[in-house]
Amino acid sequence: MKIFFRNIHLYLSLVAGLIIAVVCFTGAVLVFEKELEQGLHPERYYVTPPAAAQRLSVEQLVAAVKAKAGPKAKVAGVKIYADPARTVEVSLAGGPGGPGGKEGGREGSVRGEGGQQREGRPEQGGPGARGGRGEGQGAKEGKGEKGGKGGGEGGRGPQYFVNPYTGAVVGPYVYRDTFFFTMMALHRGMVGGPVGKLVVGVSTLMFLFIIATGLVLWWPASNKILKQRLTVKWDASFKRLNHDLHIVLGFYSALFLFVFAFTGLAWSFEWFNNGIFAVTSSDPKGPEAPKSELVASGQKLGFDQALAVARQQVPGALSYAVSLPKDSAEAVRVMTTTAHAAYEGATDELYLDQYTGRPLGKLAFEDRNLGQRVRRTFKPVHTGAIFGTPSKIIALIVCVLGVTFPVTGVIMWLNRLKKEKKKARKLSYATR
Sheet holding 159-162, edge to edge: 169-173, 159-162, 88-92, 75-81, 319-323, 332-337, 348-352, 359-363
Closest CA to 216 of 243, 247, 256, 239: 247
DSSP H helix total and E strand total for the chain = 12, 8
Query: pTM for the full model?
Result: 0.82
For 330-339, how does the pLDDT look when each residue is reduced to its tens digit (9 = 90+)? Answer: 999 999 998 8
The answer to whether residue 123 scores a pLDDT higher than 60 is no
At residue 137, the pLDDT reads 41
What average pLDDT does range 138-143 have in this prediction?
Answer: 39
Average pLDDT of the residues of the chain: 84
Measured distance CA(137)–CA(135) in Å, rounded:
6
At residue 110, the pLDDT reads 32
Phi, psi of 60 (to 5 degrees): -65, -40
* Percent of the chain topping pLDDT 70: 84
Helix (H, G, I), strand (E, B) or coil at 6: helix
For 239-267, how does the pLDDT look when each residue is reduced to its tens digit (9 = 90+)? Answer: 999 999 999 999 999 999 999 999 999 99
Find all residues with CB under 8 Å of 334, minimum gap 6, and list them.
Answer: 306, 307, 310, 314, 320, 321, 322, 323, 349, 350, 351, 352
The answer to whether residue 367 scores a pLDDT higher than 70 is yes
For 278-304, how does the pLDDT look when each residue is reduced to its tens digit (9 = 90+)? Answer: 999 999 888 888 998 877 666 888 999
- Torsional sign, CA 374, 311, 94, 330: positive
What average pLDDT does range 89-113 have in this prediction?
Answer: 50
Closest CA to 376 of 349, 350, 342, 351: 342
Measured distance CA(218)–CA(220) in Å, rounded:
6
Helix (H, G, I), strand (E, B) or coil at 351: strand
